[in-house]
Structure 1
Amino acid sequence: MGTAEVAAALLRDHGRTYADEAGIRLRDKPSPLYRLLVLAVLCSTRIRADIATAAARELFSAGLRTPRAMADSAWQDRVDALGRAHYVRYDESTATALGEGARLLLDRWRGDLRRLREEAGGDTGALRARLMDVPRIGPVGADIFCREAQAVWPELRPFFDERSRAAAAELGLPRSAEGLAALVAAEDLARFAAALVRASLSKGSARGSG
């Protein structure tokens, strides 16, 4: 199986973004972008991705879909939403981080991550640095956000973090972002990056499926 065929198999079998799994219809609008940031916060602890996405869905179902709603919510309500998704061990500290992060977004970017994007001026490193000012978002969380946000912020493309590039190498695919980007259409880059991560977490792989 050639690299293009492996890429196609990955998209077919694993090509669902984590934003989609969390119920986020990602667009370049304040609420979906904020929900993606919340998902990145939730994925930044040592917890399974399916639990993180379930926790995101619980928070959003509770109406916590904007920085204002999150900032105005009770800390215990955030803890309870995380608990319903079995987001344990990190529920209390994450509830605190979500509240602090929402207030930071309101104070610094008026609740609109597109303002953060404008500040970065098309520079991915500058954008990642600003993201890491948000409580609980470190390099991994910033990578998760950028990996998914490239679907709506073209200046991030192609974005493949260390985890997705390592998974690509294990499958015999190019390790460089440019090499991987050559295998799929630009609009599929976010799905492809997610597929590589999902494949690395699954028992099977595109190579194993033939």
Structure 2
Amino acid sequence: MAEKRISAEQLGLAAGLEKADKKALFKWLLASFVFGKPIQQAVAERAYRILVEQRGLDTPARLAGCSQQELVRLLGQARYVRYDISTAARLHKLSRKLMAEYDGSVTAIRRQSPSRHDFAQRLLAFEGIGPKTVEIFMREAEAGLYGSTD
């Protein structure tokens, strides 16, 4: 039985991704990050919704401003407990690196990447982002970042 795949549309991000909207791209990167871990999709979706929709951690600055202890608590509230401590630490590192190296913007990563491959490599350089997270992210963000492949 195939596991349900969450989509950007289900999270209300599809239109923003089509336009390569800075805020939508960050939210989708955050969603891809939590969905990229070996954890139940329902738990990952709940974690995303708690972090972004309930707590408002929808920008790198807001995410970085939340304490690691608070992130662990929020992930625990979503029952994202198997990787809560490591995920909280990596979310902090992701937001800080994005702010320090890319002015807090996924579109800045795109501007600095001469190719799709380079863009993917830059994403992989973030601690906690692996091939699965990149696959999930690019599945729905690539068209907005690089134009439609139709």
TM-score bin, normalised by smaller chain: 0.7 to 0.9
The partner residue of 1:50 within 29, 34, 42 is 42
Letter in 1 for 2:50: E
In 2 relative to 1, CA 99–128 (structure 1 residues): closer, same or farther, beyond 3 Å? same
Aligned identity (percent) is 31
Deviation at 1:17, TM superposition (A): 5.2
- Provide the C-alpha distance between the structure 2 equivalents of 1:23 and 1:82, rounded to a whole number of angstroms: 21
Matches within 5 A, 1:38-117: 38-60=30-52, 61-117=54-110
Q: Distance in 1 between matches of 2:63 and 2:71?
A: 8
Q: Is structure 2 residue 23 aligned with structure 1 residue 34?
A: no
Q: Secondary structure at 1:21's aligned position in 2? A: coil
1:27-81 deviation digits (Å, cap 9, x = unpaired): 2222211111111111221112222121111001201000000111111211122
1:116-136 CA deviation, whole Å, 9 max, x = no partner? 001113x21111101111121
Alignment of 1:167-186 (within 5 A): 186=150
Identify if the C-alpha distance between structure 1 residues 26 and 88 changes in structure 2 by more than 3 Å, giving closer, same or farther: farther
In the alignment, the residues of structure 1 paired with residue 130 and residue 59 of structure 2 have an alpha-carbon distance, to the nearest angstrom, of 21
Structure with bigger gyration radius = 1
Closer, same or farther: CA 53–21 of 1 in aligned 2, 3 Å: farther
SS at match of 1:41: helix
Gaps of 5+ in 1: 1-13, 159-185, 187-210
Count of residues in correspondence between the two structures? 143
Letter in 2 for 1:96: A
Aligned residues of 1:101 and 1:134 also touching (Cα < 8 A): yes
**Secondary structure at the counterpart of residue 97 of structure 1:** helix
* Runs of 4+, deviation exceeding 4 Å: none
1:65 match: secondary structure: coil
